[in-house]
Structures are given as structure tokens and as C-alpha cells.
Amino acid sequence: MSSTESAGRTADKSPRQQVDRLLVGLRWRRLEEPLGFIKVLQWLFAIFAFGSCGSYSGETGAMVRCNNEAKDVSSIIVAFGYPFRLHRIQYEMPLCDEESSSKTMHLMGDFSAPAEFFVTLGIFSFFYTMAALVIYLRFHNLYTENKRFPLVDFCVTVSFTFFWLVAAAAWGKGLTDVKGATRPSSLTAAMSVCHGEEAVCSAGATPSMGLANISVLFGFINFFLWAGNCWFVFKETPWHGQRQGQDQDQDQDQDQGQGPRQESAAEQGAVEKQ
């Protein structure tokens, strides 16, 4: 019994010891530096960006009142959301005649491309920043000694900066089109029953776009974070060290050139005095 209990205790302790060793090896002071602190902000705002866009849902609607006394007021409520393939969303348009009661209609527009690109970029940014934080905190010596890691990090950071600018601008334009396609006035304009004298149409529920607007804001915040981080990542690359070495060599050459000039000027002055 004692052997089995000791084996169980060692089995319980081994995962804990591994976790403790992993936490002890992390350099938490790295987060106080700009390179690590900005990575944490990138990780958080990537979650905010794809979370606010991917979880959006809204409703639009209209009211149709037939002039025929036999039919009451019909309320139309259309729910939509990510990925904003509006042309696949159906709703029933009431008809003010005795032959048929309703007709199946669809919203207009497909805005899934900018929305899905925005969310996908946010997910990739989330995973990359998490992997970069692990390297910064746990394998810092490998990052500083191997020159390839800073170069790869710099190239990826520049790429994400460009993609965030494109994604935020494209999703902002796509969101504007979504707002135009989901207005109650657009809904009534698409229904043929509202163009005749047999029915009176009015605006219904107006969709709330607050969460979608915030997602565009988070997109541009991510762009500024990645753009600002380019400089701090560039300082870790060998290119920055080569520039500093070239500047120092130029300064030394200038100092060495000024030294003989001063000596020659002093000798000429002594000759003139003699």
C-alpha cells in the first residue's frame, strides 16, 4: 500500500513540478519592456476585434397594413448577423389579395468576404502573438542569440500591419453597405406590395450597429499597435546593429580626420612664430 501511495503522490507531483518549472522559467520582466507589453495589447485587441465582429447579430423589420378590411397589420422581423450573407436570409412578404397570403423574399447583398477576412486575421493575430509571447518569456535566450527569429518576427509584424489596415478599411466599407441593405426603408423599397395602393408600409425595428461599429474601431487600433511595434522589433534585428556600427565607424573616421588637421594647424602656427 505504501508503495502504491508513494507512486500516486509522485505521479500527482510530476505535472505540478512541470508547471512550476515552466512558470519559474518565464521572464515576466519582459512584459515591462515595450516589445512584450505591446504584444500583450495585440493579443487582447485581436480577441476584441474578431469577437465583436463574429458575434454580431441584429434585427430589421417593417409594418405592412393592407387596405383590405379582411387582413390585419402584418409585422415583418428579419434577423441577420455574421457572416452577413444577406442574400440567403428569407422573410415572408404579406400579399393583400385573396388568392395568396405571403411571398418568400430575400435580403439583398453578400458582405461575407470583408467580414470573414477581418475575423480570420484577428484569429491568426491571436495565435501568433500568443506564440511570440511564449518565445519572449520562456525562450528569450534563443530569441536573442539566433538572428533568424528577430528577422522573421519583423517580417511577420510588417505583414500583419499591412493586412490590418486592409481588413479594417474593407470591413468599414462592408459595414456601411450592410447598414444600407438592412435599413427598414430598404426593406420596404424591396417589397412590391408597398409600391401599390393596396397596402401602407411603415418602418419597423431598426438594427443596432453599436457592436459592429466597435469592431471596426478595434481593427484600426490593431493596425496602430502593429505599426508601432515594427520599430521595437526592428531594433532586435541585425539590421539595426549594422546601422549603429556604420554610424560609429563614420564618427571615428571624422574624429581621426580632425586629429591630423589640428596637428598640422599647430605646426604651421609654430613655424610662423619662428
Q: Could you give all domains of the chain from N- to C-terminal order, each with its CATH number?
A: 31-235 (1.20.140)
77-98 residue pLDDT tens: 999 999 999 999 999 888 877 6
Per-residue cell: 111: 458582405
Average pLDDT over residues 192-205: 84
pLDDT of 144 strictly over 90:
no
pLDDT at 267: 60
**Running DSSP on this structure, what letter comes out for residue 209?**
-
**Strand ranges for the chain from DSSP E:** 57-66, 73-81, 90-94, 102-106, 199-203
* DSSP string for residues in 87-103: GG-EEEEE--SSS-SEE
The pLDDT of 171-181, averaged and rounded, is 95
User: Residue 219 pLDDT > 60, yes or no?
Assistant: yes
Looking at the predicted structure, is the pLDDT value of residue 22 above 80? no
Q: Is the model more confident about 102 or about 45?
A: 45
Please enumerate in sequence order all residues whose Cβ is within 8 A of that of 156, keeping only pairs 6 or more positions apart, or say none: 128
User: What integer is the mean pLDDT of 41-65?
Assistant: 94
Distance CA(243)–CA(235), nearest Å, equals 10
Asked if pLDDT for residue 145 goes beyond 90, the answer is no
Asked if 76 and 64 touch (Cβ cutoff 8 Å), the reply is yes
**Residues near 14 by beta carbon (within 8 Å), at least 6 away in sequence:** none
How much is the pLDDT for 13? 53
Mean of the pLDDT values across residues 256-273?
54
Distance CA 8, CA 224 (A): 52
The better pLDDT of the pair 249, 214 is held by 214
> By the 8 A CB rule, do 60 and 206 touch?
yes
Mean pLDDT computed over every residue of the chain: 81
Report the amino acid identity of residue 14. Answer: S
Which of the two residues, 29 and 249, has the higher pLDDT score? 29
Query: For residue 103, what pLDDT band results from cuts at 50, 70 and 90?
Result: confident
**Grid coordinates representing 140?**
528569450
The residue-averaged pLDDT of 141-170 equals 89
How many Å apart are CA 89 and CA 101, to the nearest integer? 20
User: pLDDT above 90 covers what percent of the chain?
Assistant: 45
> Poorest-confidence range of 80-84, 147-151, 211-215?
147-151
The candidate with the shortest Cα–Cα distance to 38, out of 196, 235, 249, is 235
**Single pTM value for the model:** 0.78
How is residue 222 written as a grid cell? 490593431
Tell me how far CA of residue 123 lies from CA of 18, 49, 119, 151, in angstroms.
29, 9, 6, 22
The β-bridge partners of 199 are: 66
